[in-house]
């Protein structure tokens, strides 16, 4: 059984006429007839029966057609997908990014990319924490991602894309809300809302707290930025988090951190072999060339 036989089978099933099937398949009638004979011998059942001047599917043929027809359609979709991917001026990119990048950087990059003359390249988006983004890359569910570097997998390439400024957020009625800036040492008497261990931000925060020799009382752990802001706004505690635009939408006060923290790097990650795909390499280079390293 080969692909050509299956294509002949579907065409003959749809036309119900040997001559018409041969014409649509750009081949001869004997070729169609021979291919169907070989296919029926291999499967062990009769697929077609004559009905006057036409040919129609048998019961077994109808069952077989229900599986073969959608399978061939999927193969054709796969062929078109690959053809689009090797064309640097068209195709589709599966783009994943951590939650904080969805408010600013990710939409700016894709919009600017389209404005630079790449309107025929489409995007599908996925969001998650850094561990989820990396797993999606490894599973080929996305082509490129923006995330923290929480894995040193040899299949992946990481390039620093930007840096996030970290701030302290406190409830509006909190004693610390009277300040505009603060050292983290001055916050240790208050309970903290913190990112969960599944978050790519958590290892970075743990390292900063350790290097400053601080001890924090963590009363709540959450994965996503807006949940952190929501809990802070409801007086669960204070939090250290990226300086994202949506902070202003919550009942919290943002304080600048006066400590000298390590850079909070955000990376562009991609599978090494995916950079051989022209459309993806074009977007990858564009991202690195058109992103300011410092968070704005």
Give dist(CA 41, CA 205) in Å, integer.
67
Whether residue 158 contacts residue 289, with contact meaning beta carbons closer than 8 Å, is answered with: no
Position 88 scores a pLDDT of 65
Burial of 130 (0-12, 13-18, 19+ CB in 10 A): buried
Positions of the chain with pLDDT lower than 50, given as ranges: 294-296
In the numeric block, the tokens 């399978």 are attached to 71
Report long-range pairs for 215-221 (Cβ below 8 Å, ≥24 apart).
215/188, 216/187, 216/188, 216/192, 217/190, 217/191, 217/192, 218/191, 218/192, 218/193, 218/194, 219/191, 219/192, 219/193, 220/192, 220/193, 220/194, 221/193, 221/194, 221/195, 221/196, 221/197
Position 91 scores a pLDDT of 77
User: What are the DSSP calls for 151-186, one per residue?
Assistant: ---TTEEEEEEEEEPEEEEEETTSGGGG-SEE-GGG
* Domains, the chain, with CATH or none: 3-85 (1.10.10.10), 91-163+265-289 (3.40.190.10), 165-263 (3.40.190.10)
Position 152 scores a pLDDT of 83
pLDDT digits (tens, 9 = 90+) for 120-167: 888 999 999 999 999 999 998 999 999 999 878 889 999 999 999 999
Position 150 scores a pLDDT of 83
Position 86 scores a pLDDT of 67
pTM, 2 dp: 0.68
Position 293 scores a pLDDT of 55
């Amino acid at each position: 059984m080969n692909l050509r036989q299956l294509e002949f089978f579907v065409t003959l099933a749809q036309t119900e006429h040997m001559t018409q099937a041969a014409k649509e398949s750009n081949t001869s009638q004997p070729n169609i007839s021979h291919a169907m004979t070989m296919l029926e011998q291999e499967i062990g059942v009769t697929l077609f029966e004559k009905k006057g001047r036409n040919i129609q599917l048998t019961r077994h043929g109808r069952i077989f057609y229900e599986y073969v027809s959608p399978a061939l359609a999927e193969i054709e979709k796969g062929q078109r997908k690959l053809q689009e991917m090797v064309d640097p001026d068209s195709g589709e990119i599966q783009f994943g990014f951590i939650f904080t990048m969805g408010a600013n950087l990710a939409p700016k990059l894709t919009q600017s990319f389209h404005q630079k003359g790449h309107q025929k390249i489409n995007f599908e988006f996925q969001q998650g924490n850094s561990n989820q983004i990396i797993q999606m890359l490894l599973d080929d569910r996305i082509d490129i991602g923006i995330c923290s570097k929480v894995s040193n997998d040899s299949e992946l390439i990481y390039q620093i894309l930007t840096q996030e400024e970290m701030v302290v957020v406190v409830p509006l009625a909190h004693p610390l809300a009277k300040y505009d800036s603060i050292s983290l040492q001055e916050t240790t008497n208050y309970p903290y809302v913190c990112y969960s261990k599944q978050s790519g931000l958590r290892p970075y925060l743990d390292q900063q707290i350790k290097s400053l020799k601080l001890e924090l009382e963590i009363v709540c752990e959450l994965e996503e930025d807006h949940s952190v802001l929501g809990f802070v706004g409801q007086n669960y505690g204070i939090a250290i988090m990226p300086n994202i635009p949506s902070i202003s939408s919550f009942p919290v006060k943002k304080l600048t951190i006066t400590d000298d923290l390590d850079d909070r790097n955000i990376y562009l990650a991609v599978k090494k072999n995916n950079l051989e795909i022209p459309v993806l390499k074009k977007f990858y280079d564009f991202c690195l060339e058109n992103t300011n390293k410092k968070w704005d």
